[in-house]
Structure 1
Amino acid sequence: MNVRRLGGREDTAGIIRVQGLAWREAYADLLPTEIIQQQTVDPSEEEIRQWHDWLRENRDGILVAVDDEEAVRGFADFRWGDAETKEFVGDEEAGLKAIYVHPDYWGSGIGTALLERGMESLPDDVDAVRLEMLSGNEVGHQFYQARGFERTDTTTHEIGGTQYPTDIYTIKI
């Protein structure tokens, strides 16, 4: 597996697919079926173009994990400074907006590789990484706790017009 920065539209299409498949697997018991099914796994050219344009705007923190055939198997979205961080992310912190791995590759080390590479790529003045995840996401909780993150707060996040409980995790770097 190779972890690198976001490339062309093929990478963007892979990100959309991976996110959709990961949502369907990870959140099936946490979110309503209609919300899960809205996650695209076969993006149209228009969806790819829109996502690609959005991801390329000031997105130095987008990383993809690709296999030998350059197929995206996972991605991470780190944000800092003015890059649309969440309100719980401080000035000298980065937010991990997303990290998703294709469900067929869970447990293979891709998530860890994305996390490590992303943290290595952060600006020197960043002293912590914070993230938010659905409270019932046991796979996510185990993943982050095993890598030194600690649950530091709770809040809610709106999905499809409904508020869901979330946990904030933090790691000092």
Structure 2
Amino acid sequence: MMSRVTCSHMSFQTAIRPAESVDIADIRRVARATWHTVYDDILGAETVEEHLKEGYTPPLLEQMIELDEVGLFVSTADDDVVAYMSCGMTDATGFGDLDLYVHPDYWGEGIGTELLHRGEQHLHDLSVRKIRDEVLAENEVGNAFYRAHFEKVGQRTAKVGGQEHPVNVYERRL
């Protein structure tokens, strides 16, 4: 999937492809920038750093690349990885989830929407009928994206970094 994106301050060629081992450092770079930008004020930089250490180890990312049932994709802008997404089935009743992160420098460029559509294709191939995702209520960027593409179906509380946080629950039918 290739497309040209032009915005007021830059023009670049975007492409989405399955992640490869050579992308691991770039996925970790995008994760670090995105997580710190979004979550430092909500969870604290220390909690964010802990999550990044646990959730983005090279062996874990390598495993995600190798598993067919997990879709791990990267989006590139002029061949630089600027976003990534992982998706898969979460339970046998046809629910799946999708985790999508775009580097803050590229927010609002449509890259997240392109990744969402690619993830939907992958999930559809896995017989997923509905995506269910959760976003911390304080994550304004994430909630804006989900409100544009999903239906909010509820709210719950989740413990993150030892603290309770309200979480919005969204669904999207495939």
Alignment check: 8 A CA contact 1:79 1:94 kept: yes
Which residue of structure 2 aligns with residue 7 of structure 1?
A: 20
Which residue of structure 2 aligns with residue 165 of structure 1?
A: 166
1:7-60 CA deviation, whole Å, 9 max, x = no partner? 12x21111111111101111132112321344659xxxxx43453235433454
Which residue of structure 2 aligns with residue 136 of structure 1?
A: 138
1:35 and 1:159 map into 2 onto residues whose CA distance is 8
Which residue of structure 2 aligns with residue 44 of structure 1?
A: none
Which residue of structure 2 aligns with residue 29 of structure 1?
A: 41
Residue 90 (structure 1) shift = 6.3
Which residue of structure 2 aligns with residue 64 of structure 1?
A: 74
1:74-129 CA deviation, whole Å, 9 max, x = no partner? 0111111xxxx3xxx66112111x11011111111111110011112223532211
Matches within 5 A, 1:110-149: 110-123=111-124, 125-147=127-149, 149=150
Residue 143 (structure 1) shift = 1.0
Alignment check: 8 A CA contact 1:129 1:171 kept: yes
1:53 and 1:120 map into 2 onto residues whose CA distance is 21
Which residue of structure 2 aligns with residue 93 of structure 1?
A: 95
Which residue of structure 2 aligns with residue 17 of structure 1?
A: 29
What is the TM-score with the length of structure 1 in the denominator?
Answer: 0.80
Residue 68 (structure 1) shift = 2.5
Q: Which amino acid aligns with 1:75?
A: Y
Alignment check: 8 A CA contact 1:18 1:73 kept: yes
1:63 and 1:50 map into 2 onto residues whose CA distance is 15
Residue 136 (structure 1) shift = 1.0
1:128 and 1:19 map into 2 onto residues whose CA distance is 25
Q: Which runs of 5+ in 1 are unaligned?
A: 42-46
What is the TM-score with the length of structure 2 in the denominator?
Answer: 0.79
Q: Which amino acid aligns with 2:148?
A: A
2:159 and 2:172 map into 1 onto residues whose CA distance is 24
1:73 equivalenced with 2:86 (yes/no): no
Q: Residues 90, 164 of structure 1: CA spacing in aligned structure 2 closer, same or farther, 3 A cutoff?
A: farther
Q: Residues 5, 92 of structure 1: CA spacing in aligned structure 2 closer, same or farther, 3 A cutoff?
A: same
User: Does the residue aligned with 1:108 lie in a helix, a strand or coil?
Assistant: coil
Alignment check: 8 A CA contact 2:43 2:161 kept: no
Alignment check: 8 A CA contact 1:5 1:64 kept: yes
Bigger fraction of residues in strand: 2
Bigger fraction of residues in helix: 2
1:33 and 1:128 map into 2 onto residues whose CA distance is 33
